[in-house]
């Protein structure tokens, strides 16, 4: 099965729309959102087409196909307008025979690991930097940020197809890839 991962929309209607267009075209079963959905945060510039109400409406249209976790910029008021759960700090997902520990990255990350077994995957956003690498008998993945990329990287998202994970730019180019 195919799964799409996106993080750090930060209220950008433009990048939310692009994310959903890619999701629709990809044939992915689920869209897994790794937090920071509606609010841009006090340390960030306003993203392109900042419109949390429009992002809310777009995401709610996909409520039955989204798994999501809470980011450090997500609040209880966001959950009041979103029609799918976002308040969990992490989600354990069994995807294509691999256990994914999905989180935002502000609590659990490579420096503060959750309890993991050999072969497990830690996937998070938060840093806005794309990562796909082996780590401690498992894997560390970060799809980067769809709206506010850092480190000179382009806006990006992740795609899992079988056990092949790619971090892609919105123009379709592959930034990083790894076999799990």
Q: The CATH number of the domain where 163 resides is what?
A: 3.60.21.10
Which of 37-46, 56-65, 120-129, 134-143 bottoms out in mean pLDDT, i.e. has the lowest?
Answer: 37-46
137 falls in which pLDDT band (50, 70, 90)?
confident
Domain coverage including residue 47: 2-179
Give the C-alpha distances (Å, rounded to integers) separating 127 from 71, 85, 94, 104, 109.
11, 22, 24, 9, 10
Q: Supply the pLDDT for residue 81.
A: 98
Q: 């989204």: which residue's tokens?
A: 66
The answer to whether 47 touches 55, Cβ cutoff 8 Å, is no
Q: Supply the pLDDT for residue 42.
A: 85
Span 100-114, mean pLDDT?
Answer: 96
93 pLDDT above the threshold of 90: yes
Name the DSSP letter for residue 65.
G
Span 172-177, mean pLDDT?
Answer: 96
Q: Give Cβ neighbours of residue 155 (< 8 Å, ≥ 6 apart).
A: 15, 18, 144, 145, 146, 147, 149, 169, 170
Strand residues in 78-137 grouped as ranges (E): 90-95, 98-103, 121-123, 130-135
């Amino acid at each position: 099965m195919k799964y799409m991962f996106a993080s750090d929309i930060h209220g950008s209607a433009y990048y939310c729309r692009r994310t959903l267009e890619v999701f629709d075209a990809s044939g992915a079963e689920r869209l897994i959102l790794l937090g920071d959905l509606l609010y841009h945060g006090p340390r960030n510039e306003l993203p392109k087409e900042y419109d949390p109400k429009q992002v809310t409406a777009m995401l709610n249209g996909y409520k039955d196909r989204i798994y999501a976790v809470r980011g450090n910029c997500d609040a209880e008021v966001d959950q009041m307008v979103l029609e799918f759960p976002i308040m969990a700090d992490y989600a354990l997902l069994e995807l294509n025979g691999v256990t994914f520990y999905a989180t935002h990255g502000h609590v659990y990350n490579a420096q503060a690991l959750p309890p993991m077994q050999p072969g497990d995957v830690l996937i998070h956003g938060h840093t806005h930097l794309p990562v796909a690498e082996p780590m401690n008998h498992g894997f560390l993945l970060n799809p980067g940020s769809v709206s506010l990329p850092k480190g000179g990287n382009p806006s990006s998202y992740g795609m899992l197809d079988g056990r092949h994970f790619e971090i892609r730019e919105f123009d379709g180019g592959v930034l990083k890839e790894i076999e799990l």
